[in-house]
Amino acid sequence: MRPEQIVEAILFASEAPLRSEEIARADESLDEDRVQEAIEQLRQLYQESERAFELMEVAGGYQLLTRPEFAGYLERFDTIPRPSHLSGPALETLAIIAYRQPIGRLEVEYVRGVGAAGVIRTLQERGLIDVVGRGEGVGRPLLYGTTSRFLEHFGFDSLEALPRPDELPVVLRDRTVPLLPEDEGRAEEGPVDPDQAELPLDAPDLAPATAPDLAPAAVPERTPATAPATAPDPAPDPAPDMGPDMGPSEGDSA
């Protein structure tokens, strides 16, 4: 067997990129230099014969991949594996991690402005990111970085092949937004509670609006009917004036 035939057979059967030293283990007659020569010969052969596939450098290794212009034909068949698609939030989170790794979850959430725990868990389950270390902050948070599966998924040979940040529609580099002169003092004081904000001196004194009284109307008390008038009780007649008590008379003595 010729070296290029052995290399071609191994790459054709492999589902993942293979490095030169890995391919060289297939036969004793192979070494890294012969593998590299065979790869260059295969590349030239595929290019000259206009094959529907090409030999690409992916994730630090080599892999046979179908040319992009034939993707429309492959999508019509359910038996051909299709790459999994990522949602918008997953792509945003993955881009932040790729450009700023190693990075912690809190920093990712700070950049995106929303929670990222669920998205990070999904990216981990798909093997696109993994824990690469711990930070030096409080609690030593987990730091995340991309994996070789990330490079395979997007067809990058290494992280250096990523587009430059200035070529992206959203710049992920650290940039501080300048404050207006009148906002500098407020930024140092912190956010102002609207309920604690002071009114300007020339503002009218507005009393806080009160909610309308929705209590049920009071039912007027019904006064009891007036009892019929009765004549006042006549005062008792005064006893007759008998005059001063003179004591018993002489005729009355025994």
**pTM (two decimals):** 0.51
According to the model, what pLDDT value does residue 170 have? 52
Task: Give the Å distances, CA to CA, from 203 to 170, 198, 200, 206.
Answer: 43, 10, 5, 8
Question: Which H, E and C letters describe 154-204, residue by residue?
Answer: HCCCCHHHCCCHHHCCCCCCCCCCCCCHHHHHHHHHCCCCHHHCCCCCCCC
According to the model, what pLDDT value does residue 79 have? 82
Exposure string (b/e) for 197-231, b if CB count within 10 Å is 16 or more?
A: eeeeeeeeeeeeeeeeeeeeeeeeeeeeeeeeeee
Classified as helix, coil or strand, 231 is coil
According to the model, what pLDDT value does residue 36 have? 92
In CATH, 88-167 is 1.10.10.10: yes
Neighbours of 76 (CB within 10 A): 7
User: What is the token pair recorded at 21?
Assistant: 């030293």
In 3D space, the residue among 120, 126, 117, 114 whose CA is nearest the CA of residue 101 turns out to be 120
Element (H, E) at 106: helix 105-112
* Backbone dihedral angles phi then psi of residue 92, each to the nearest 5 degrees: -60, -45
Identical fold between 3-74 and 88-167:
yes
Q: In sequence order, what are the beta bridge partners of 191? A: none
Class of 3-74 in CATH: mainly alpha
Dump pLDDT digits (tens) for 178-197.
Answer: 333 333 343 334 443 333 33
Domain ranges of the chain: 3-74, 88-167
Q: In sequence order, what are the beta bridge partners of 145? A: 130
Residue by residue, pLDDT tens for the chain (254 residues) are: 888 899 999 999 988 889 999 999 988 888 989 999 999 999 999 999 999 999 998 888 999 988 989 888 888 888 877 777 888 899 999 999 999 999 999 999 999 889 899 999 999 999 999 999 998 878 889 999 999 889 888 888 888 888 877 766 554 444 333 333 333 343 334 443 333 333 333 433 434 444 444 444 444 444 444 444 444 555 555 555 554 444 444 444 43
According to the model, what pLDDT value does residue 84 have? 73
According to the model, what pLDDT value does residue 167 have? 67
Element (H, E) at 101: none
According to the model, what pLDDT value does residue 86 have? 86
Measured CA to CA, the distance from residue 161 to residue 146 in angstroms comes to: 14
Mean pLDDT of the chain: 73
Classified as helix, coil or strand, 93 is helix
